[in-house]
Structure 1
Amino acid sequence: MAKLAFLGLGVMGFPMAGHLAAAGHEVTVYNRSSAKADAWVGKHGGKSAPTPRQAAEGAGIVLACVGNDDDLRSVCLGDDGAFAGMARGAIFVDHTTVSEAVTKELAGIAAEAGLGYVDAPVSGGQAGAENGQLSIMCGGDKAQFETVRPVIETYAKICRLMGPTGAGQLTKMANQIAIAGLVQGLAESLHFAQRAGLGIEEVVEVISQGAAGSWQMVNRHKTMAAGKFDFGFAVDWMRKDLGICLATANQNGASLPVTALVDQFYKDVQNMGGGRWDTSSLIARLDRNG
């Protein structure tokens, strides 16, 4: 069993850290809001610390799942950052979805301090985190990956090294690009079926068994048809991720016309007051416009 630190106890980090404690690891947690850290300790045991640095002291592996590039920098750097508390040879694992640029920046700083760094963004949403069924795509040194893999497999359905530093984040971008177009297609399909007077359950039962089937269709069609969007990944976070995808595409020459369009559709949802709705809320925009 390892001595670990986990930074960030949002809808993903809270259950992920819980799986580590349940597996018998010694876990110290940090969260910007201390009330969440106290709640986590009350539920799972372990300890909390008032700063990332104090949480990281003595930990062989420090894991983080925060909001964006700036949040990640804030928990890593500075006098109170995790890097300042980590001993040489310890490894930092970042589960946040961030840019390739900040990943390489922080990995370089870590290396200069004698620390390891693995970028390991996750897919599977809150349910995947709670059930320990996340897809985890990693970038970094192979030996460092092999060291941390048994720990992060605690909450993974699949965990794979995709390449050098940044490859995990690039793979997560491909994931978000695929989801954006898929959810828009599903929203249009359900919207069309409703307007055509078809029974949604009957339609989905049939088409989900063929080439149109997807996780989104099986798990979100009922709530989409009912106009309920309190499940899963928020629109505000999806727009953050798609912004990273589009900026990276501008650098590597990839053409993402559908992704750019769906990003603007999500902007419409934000303007409807749906920034905290989950990503399946694209159908609300169609219903409003229809």
Structure 2
Amino acid sequence: MPTIALLGTGLLGEAIGQRLLQQGLSLRVWNRTPARCNSLLEAGATAIGDLNGAAHGCDAVITVLRDGAVTAEVVQALGPLQGTTVIPMGTMGVGESRALATQTAEQGGDYLEAPVLGSKPQALNGTLLVMAGGSDAVFARHQGLLKHLAETPQRVGPVGSGAATKIALNQLIASLTHSFSLSLRLIQQAGVPVETFMEILRPSALYAPTFDKKLQRMLDGEYSDPNFSTALLRKDLLLFLSEAADQGLKADGLQGVAALLERASDTELDAQDYCALHELTQ
């Protein structure tokens, strides 16, 4: 039975841990706030008290942490990583992931970035979308593990390609949410019934399923119980803008969305579902 160390048991990390336990894997868990591991401990996981040496005897270390800097710090604290593969599933920059791969190698371990698209519901039923970056050999070795979380995990290329794919997708979350919010505001102010607008939109090439997924929340102004928060959306959009600038891409059109999201900082919107962006477009 594979033994996995899971570092980071927030909303997504906890769901990933529950899924791995349900699939019969042996799980060790850690979070900076230990109480956030309680549900996993009750489900059969073992607590990691000290990070130093915690990777010993583990087939893989999965990290689901806030960003690249935090992930690098936590992985460094593990010490020697011989016989272990570090698999970060959180969102980080391309350069951050490549630097973490180098760091992991210096600590004696292997590395496979595997950011995911999806949140708690998809993690619990094993339908996350996994975009892995790393060598064919390391991906093949851990494909069985990834299949517990995704129906068809994909290797998209070398280290850095998975990170790039993830932030490219998260940029679409911001762009689509913002554009849909603006369209809703405009048609409502013009007196067009929302359902009439949706009946025209749904069969068109312009439609994205996320529009219906978030429509009722936007109409009701109800953004509690998020699977992905406004604060995390802002972080990831800023990360995309940084990567775009490094690549010489013209992303000026996104600067306005980023500025809009900055208005949520230090407000109740930050901890709410990211479609609370709708409150900022009026």
Structure 1 residue 110 corresponds to structure 2 residue 104: yes
Contact 2:86/2:109, CA 8 A, preserved across alignment: yes
Q: Output the CA distance in 1 between the equivalents of 2:195 and 2:227.
A: 21
Structure 1 residue 245 corresponds to structure 2 residue 240: yes
Q: How does 1:98-137 map to 2 (within 5 A)?
A: 98-137=92-131
Structure 1 residue 51 corresponds to structure 2 residue 45: no
Amino acid at match of 1:74: E
Structure 1 residue 74: Cα displacement: 2.2
Q: How does 1:220-231 map to 2 (within 5 A)?
A: 220-230=214-224, 231=226
The TM-score, its normalising length taken from structure 1, stands at: 0.90
Structure 1 residue 18 corresponds to structure 2 residue 18: yes
Contact 1:135/1:156, CA 8 A, preserved across alignment: yes
Structure 1 residue 278: Cα displacement: 1.9
Number of residues paired by the alignment?
281
Q: How does 1:1-290 map to 2 (within 5 A)?
A: 1-42=1-42, 44-77=43-76, 81-82=77-78, 84-86=79-81, 88-230=82-224, 231-270=226-265, 273-287=268-282
**What secondary structure does 1:5 align onto?**
strand
Contact 2:187/2:193, CA 8 A, preserved across alignment: yes
User: 1:286 and 1:13, CA in 2 relative to 1: closer, same or farther beyond 3 A?
Assistant: same
Instruction: Deviation per CA, 1:177-225: give whole Å up to 9, x if none.
Output: 2222111111112212322223323432442232222121121101111
Contact 2:80/2:108, CA 8 A, preserved across alignment: no
Q: Output the CA distance in 1 between the equivalents of 2:159 and 2:115.
A: 12
**What secondary structure does 1:92 align onto?**
strand
Structure 1 residue 31: Cα displacement: 1.0
Amino acid at match of 1:121: P
Q: Output the CA distance in 2 between the equivalents of 1:127 and 1:197.
A: 36
Q: Output the CA distance in 2 between the equivalents of 1:154 and 1:3.
A: 14
User: 1:71 and 1:32, CA in 2 relative to 1: closer, same or farther beyond 3 A?
Assistant: same
The TM-score, its normalising length taken from structure 2, stands at: 0.93
Amino acid at match of 2:22: A
Greater shift in the superposed pair: 151-160 or 163-172 = 151-160
**What secondary structure does 2:52 align onto?**
helix
